[in-house]
Structure 1
Amino acid sequence: MRGVISVQSHVVYGHAGNSSAVFPMQRMGFEVFPIHTVQFSNHTQYAEGWTGHAFPASDIEQLTQGLANIGALAQCDAVVSGYQGSVEQCHAIVDLVKQLKQHNPAALYVCDPVMGAPDKGCIVSDGIAEQLLNTLMPMADVIVPNQFELSQFAGMEINCMEDAVKACKKALTMGPKIVLVKHLYSVSDKFTMMLAFEDQCYIAQRPQLDFAKSLVGVGDLISSLFTAGLMKQWPVTEAFKHCNEAAYAVVKKTFELGEWELQTIAAQDEIVAPQERFDLQPVA
C-alpha cells in the first residue's frame, strides 16, 4: 500500500486544500494520508464568511509520530504541503519531511508555497512567506508556485515568457529539482503553466473559461495530479501534460454545470483519462 501524506487546509463543504487534493490522488490509485492545517466550513471567498479554526502545529508532530509508530512512513513515497496556518506548522513540515526521508530516502517532497491571495480572501499569517522562501521551498524536490510565488522565490519580476524561463532556471539552482508554475497569468490569454527541470522547459496551455467569480482549489488540484503522475513514475513531461488535461476536465465540467465549487466528483473519470489533449510546447 503505497501512499502520500498531504498536509494542507481542509474545507467541509466544497473543494479546496485537502478537499481538492486528496480525492484526485486516490482516484489515480494512491492511498492518501491527509493532515489538516486548518478546518473551515467552506473556503474563504464566500461573502457570508466561514467558520472553523487552525490546528496547532503539535497536531502535525503527533500525527507524524503516530504514523511512524505503525510503520506507515515507510509506505509513503511523497509528502505534499499546501496552505499553512502558522510559522510553527512550517517548522513541523520540516521535521515531517526529514522523518519521511529517513524512512524512505527516495520519497519526494512537493511544496505548494501558498503565500496568500487577498483578492480570494486567502490570508497567511506573518512569517509564513519567509519560512516558505527560506526553508520549505529550498528543501523541496518539487515546487508548485504560481507566478507571484515564483517571482518572490527567484527575486525577480515576471512580465513575459522570457522572464518566466529565467525565474524557473534560477529556482532550479536554489534547491528544487522540478519547478511547475501552476499559473502564468501575464504571458498569454490562455491558461498557461510552465515546467522546468534539468535543462528543459515547457509550457502547457488550455482554454481560459470565463467564470463570474474566480475558482478556488485549482492550484491544489494541479499539485495533486502532478504528484500522482510522478509517483506513478511517469516521465516528468507526461505527468505535467496529464495534470494540465485532467485539471482542465474538472474546470470545464464545473463551467458546464454552472457551478462555482470545483466539480471534482462529477469529472472523476477524466481525472484518470482526460478526453481533451493539449500538446506541450518547449521553450528556451
Structure 2
Amino acid sequence: MQGILSIQSHVVYGHAGNSSAVFPMQRMGFEVWPIHTVQFSNHTQYPQGWTGHAFSADDIDTLVQGIDNIGQLQSCQALVTGYQGSAEQCQAIERTVQRLKAANPAALYVCDPVMGAPDKGCIVAPGIAEALINTLMPMADVIVPNQFELSQFAEMPIKTLEDAVTACQKAMAKGPKMVLVKHLYCLSDSEFSMMLATPEGCYLAQRPQFDFERQPVGVGDLISALFTAGLAKGFSATQAFAHCHNAVYGVLKETHDCNEWELQTIAAQQELVHPSASYAVEKIS
C-alpha cells in the first residue's frame, strides 16, 4: 500500500497543517499517514487564543520507526513536512528523511519551511528557522517557501520578479531540485502570484486576490499538499503547479462566497480533483 507521510501541525477545529493537507491528498487518491508535530484546538490567529501543546521529537522518531517495523516505509512515495514545534523536531525530520531515503531512494521529500512572516510576527520556536535553512531545505527534493522564507534561504531581498528568479536559482544551487514559491506577494496587490522554478525554467501563475476581512490560515499547507500529490501521481512539474494553483483558487472562492474565515475544504472538495478555474501558467525564464 503506497502512501504519503505528512509531518506537520494539527488543529482540532478548522483547516491548518495536517487538517488542511491530509484530506486533499486523500481526495486525490492517496493513502496519507499523518504525524502531528503539535495539536492545537484551533489555529493561532484567533484573538481568543488556542489550547494544546507540541509533541516531543521522540514521538516522531517512534512513530516513523513503527511504520518501518511493519515494512511500510519502503512504500512511502513522498514525505511532506510543514510547521515544526521545536528545533529538536527538525532534527527528527532530518532522521526521518535519511531513514525514508534508505528504505525508498525514489521517495520525494517536500519541505514547506514554515518560518512565519513579518506581517504575522515570529510564530516558530527558537532554532527552527536555522534548522530549516541549514539542514532541511538543502536536503529536500522540493521546497515550498513563501517570499519571505525564500529570501531567508537565498540570502537576498526579493522585490521584483527578476529577484525571485535569481533567488530560486540560488536556492536550487543549495540542493533542492525544485522550488514552488507559494506566495510571491511583491508582484501585485490585486492578484495572488505563485512561481515554480525547475532546472528547465521558471513559471508564473496568477489569479484574482479575494478580499477577506480576515485572511484564511492554512492556504500554504493546502498548496504544499496538492503539489505533492500531483507530483506523486506522476504529473509533470508544470502540470502539478497548474492543478495546485487552480484547485486552491476553487477552495478560496468557496470560502469567500460562504463569507467564512476557515477554509471550506470539504464544501469545495470537488475542486481538489477537478478545478473549475483554468488560469494560465506562463514560462518567464
Percent identity between the two aligned chains = 69
User: TM (normalized to structure 1)?
Assistant: 0.98
Q: Map 1:67-216 to 2 at 5 A.
A: 67-117=67-117, 119-120=119-120, 123-189=123-189, 190-216=191-217
Shift of 1:123: 1.1
Name the SS for the 2:173 alignment partner: coil
Match of 1:58 in 2: 58
Match of 1:26 in 2: 26
Stretches of structure 2 that go unaligned for 5 or more consecutive residues are none
| Equivalent residue, structure 1, for 2:239 | 238
CA distance in 2, matches of 1:277, 1:183: 18
**CA-based RMSD:** 0.9
For 2:215 and 2:147, how far apart are their aligned partners in 1? Answer: 16
Q: Which amino acid aligns with 1:243?
A: C
- What is the identity, as a one-letter code, of the residue corresponding to 1:226? F
- Distance of aligned partners of 1:12 and 1:212 in 2 relative to their CA distance in 1, 3 Å threshold: same
Determine the C-alpha separation between the residues in 1 that align with 2:71 and 2:251.
35
> How far off its partner does 1:119 sit?
4.0
Letter matched to residue 103 of structure 2: H
Cα deviation, residue 117, structure 1: 3.5
In 2 relative to 1, CA 41–54 (structure 1 residues): closer, same or farther, beyond 3 Å?
same
Deviation at 1:75, TM superposition (A): 1.2
Native 8 Å contact 1:6 1:22 kept in 2? yes
Q: Contact conserved, 1:182 with 1:219, CA < 8 A, in 2?
A: yes
Aligned twin of 2:267:
266
> Take 2:40 and 2:141, find their aligned partners in 1: how far apart are those partners?
29
Deviation at 1:170, TM superposition (A): 1.0
Q: Secondary structure at the match of 1:165?
A: helix
- State TM-score, norm by structure 2: 0.98
Distance 2:72 2:207 in 1: 38
Q: Is the 8 A contact 1:44 1:120 kept in 2?
A: no
Residues 44 and 122, structure 1, Cα contact 8 Å, conserved in 2: no
Confirm or deny: 8 A CA contact 2:117 2:148 kept in the other structure: no
The answer for the alignment partner of 2:229 in structure 1 is 228
Structure-1 separation of matches of 2:177 and 2:26: 25
SS in 2 for 1:117: coil
- Hey, what's the Cα distance between the residues in 2 that align with 1:15 and 1:147? 22
1:122 positional shift: 6.1
**Alpha carbons 2:5, 2:76 under 8 Å: kept:** yes
**Structure 1 residues 16 and 118 mapped into 2: Cα distance closer, same or farther (>3 Å)?**
farther
- In structure 2, give the amino acid aligned to 1:34: P
**8 Å Cα contact 1:38/1:85 also seen in 2:** yes
User: The residue matched to 1:172 in structure 2 has which SS?
Assistant: helix
Cα separation, 2, equivalents of 1:121 and 1:267 = 30
| Partner Cα distance (2:98, 2:37) in 1 | 18
Deviation of the 1:118 alpha carbon: 6.0
- Greater shift, 8-17 or 195-204, is seen at 195-204
Instruction: State the distance in 2 between where 1:21 and 1:13 align.
Output: 14
Who is 2:281 aligned against?
280
Runs of at least 4 residues off by over 3 Å: 117-122
1:190-238 deviations in whole A, cap 9, x for unaligned?
1000000003100011110000011100000000000000000111100
The alpha-carbon distance between structure 1 residues 162 and 121, as it changes in their structure 2 partners (threshold 3 A), is closer
3-state secondary structure, aligned to 2:126: coil
Contact residue 9 and residue 36 of structure 1 kept, 8 A: yes
Unaligned runs of 5+ in 1: none
- In structure 2, C-alpha distance between the alignment counterparts of 1:96 and 1:167, rounded to whole Å: 27
